[in-house]
Amino acid sequence: MAGQVQALRRKVRSVRSTKKIAKAQELVATSKIAKAQERQSAAKPYAEAITGVLTELASNASIDHPLLQPRPRVLRAGVLLITSDRGLAGAYNANAIRTAEGLISRLRADNKDVALYVVGRKALSYYTFRGRPVEASWTGFSGEPTFADARKIGESLLAAFEAGADDTETTYGPDGIRGVDEIHIVSTSFKSLMTQSAGSRFLAPMQVEEKKREGGPKPSYEFEPEPEEMLAALLPKYINTRIYAALLDSAASEWAARRRAMKSASDNADELLKTYTREMNSARQAAITQEISEIVGGANALAAAGSDE
Amino acid sequence: MAKQLHVEVVAVEKKVWSGDAEMVVARTTEGELGVLPGHAPLLGQLKEPSQVRVKLAGGEQLTWDVTGGFLSITGTGVTILAEEAATAAPATAAH
């Protein structure tokens, strides 16, 4: 009996420390969500401005840039998957990976080969554990991505996209590098504190909407340098901006998912604590009752033995 | 009071500065350019690296070192887009 009480006491202690960890993680996540959202809104002016410039350019210049032209034959598609570095984030990573897997099987059904690019240790370990090749991976910044991270990713994706232009079914073209013909991005978008949804989008080639002007003549822009040249300089930057936005959105989602997971973990711990404490109390009470009845029984036996003499 | 230009300087990670100014001086790949209120619409790529100077009404001048920058002048104002914009040491009154 005393042993049982001891065991329960140990359980209570361990649940209590687990709860402390979950609670601390929850508080950290709560403050990180706010920070992540701040960064998202801080990045918005640039994204809006660059989209505006791009739209103006596209409506004023001929847009036959390789990044804007769908390729007639898509042999290989690149998939950029964004996950977190650390776990304890509920179904966040599982959802992102599941979405990516869905996309990959769709691409394979269309006879497209798939090249995987992953962000975050979770997706990396998922694929290396299953022995599936990963073209490139970036880890160590999922919670707080910077633009420099996005640029690194963008540069290698664009290099792969450019290298893919001359690939044919049998050879990898004069450059000898196996590239990709289109790029998809799988990331999680932050809808609210309770909902984050993973989804996939096209990253390249992209479509630019030409602005339809209502009435009045178009303002005639001057360009320095020539529009085509500027488009070539601007598009890679725009891709980087898109990647950066996806990273920020995913980071906010990651923290929101983690906060929710940690909240339910600490709620569960509370419940367990209550159950275990009840069990422990009743075990202790049972032990005391038993001891008393043993003493009483013993005393009665002694008294009975004494009166017999 | 003379007409003012509405200027926004935005970097990727944050909006750096916005406000009204008398003149913006920037260097595109084609050459240096001063923008006064009423300038024709223009899109330009900034020289790498270069400085962007914004002259305020009071004669004060703000300067940024800009990399990966673009300049967009529209009817409503001037926007400077930069991958990075760092405040440069206030230009010594050489000019």
Which residues of B, range 7-66, sit inside 8 Å of A by Cβ? 8, 10-15, 28-31, 33, 40-45
User: pLDDT per residue over A213-247, tens digit each?
Assistant: 555 556 678 888 888 888 888 889 999 999 999 99
The minimal CB distance from B79 to the residues A49, A220, A223 is found for A49
What does the pLDDT look like over A54-73, one tens digit per residue? 888 877 766 678 888 888 88
pLDDT tens-place string over residues A144-162: 999 999 999 999 999 999 8
Q: What CATH number labels B5-87?
A: 2.60.15.10
Cβ <8 Å between A43 and B29: no
| Calpha distance A66→A116 (Å, rounded) | 22
Average pLDDT of chain A is 88
Judge: B72–A52 Cβ closer than 8 Å, yes or no: yes
- Strand bridging mode B70-74 / B77-82: antiparallel
Is the ipTM value over 0.90, yes or no? no
Q: Give the pLDDT score at A309.
A: 60
Q: Mean pLDDT, chain B, as a whole number?
A: 85
Band of residue A11 on the pLDDT scale cut at 50, 70, 90: very high
Q: Do A220 and B83 touch (CB under 8 A)?
A: no
CA distance A301 to A187: 77
- Surface-to-core class of residue A250, CB atoms within 10 Å of its CB (0-12 exposed, 13-18 middle, 19+ buried): buried
Residues forming a β-bridge with A197: A189
d(CA B36, nearest CA chain A) in Å:
15
Confidence (pLDDT) at B75: 82
- The mean pLDDT value for A85-108 works out to 94
CA distance A198 to A305: 80
Confidence check: pLDDT of B94 > 50: no
Q: Is A224 close to B29, i.e. CB distance below 8 A?
A: yes
Of B10, B33, B83, the CB nearest to A45: B10
Question: What pTM value is reported for the model?
Answer: 0.86
What residues of B are in contact with residue A56 (Cβ under 8 Å)?
43, 72
Residue A211: predicted pLDDT: 60
pLDDT at B85: 86
Of B29, B40, B83, the CB nearest to A147: B83
Q: Do B81 and A53 touch (CB under 8 A)?
A: yes
Q: Is A61:A228 a contact under the CB 8 Å cutoff?
A: yes
pLDDT of res. A177? 76
Q: Are the Cβ atoms of B12 and A229 closer than 8 angstroms?
A: no
Chain segment A28-57, per-residue pLDDT in tens? 999 999 999 999 999 999 998 898 888 888
> Is pLDDT of A10 > 60?
yes
3-state secondary structure of B15: strand
Is the pLDDT assigned to residue B93 strictly greater than 80? no
Among candidates A59, A54, A35, A244, which has minimal Cα distance to B81?
A54
Across the interface, whether the CB atoms of A43 and B14 are under 8 A apart is answered yes
Taking CB atoms and an 8 Å cutoff, what residues of chain B touch A147? 12-13, 83
Dihedral sign of CA atoms A167, A172, A176, A180 in order: positive
Contact A241 B12 (CB under 8 A): yes
Q: How confident is the model at residue B90 (pLDDT cuts 50, 70, 90)?
A: low
Q: What is the 3-state secondary structure (H, E, C) of A171-204?
A: CCCCCCCCCCCEEEEEEEEECCCCCEEEEEEEEE
With CA atoms as reference, the chain B residue closest to A218 would be B41
What is residue A223's predicted lDDT score, i.e. its pLDDT?
84
For the segment B24-43, the average pLDDT, to the nearest whole number, is: 89
Q: What percent of chain A has pLDDT over 70?
A: 92
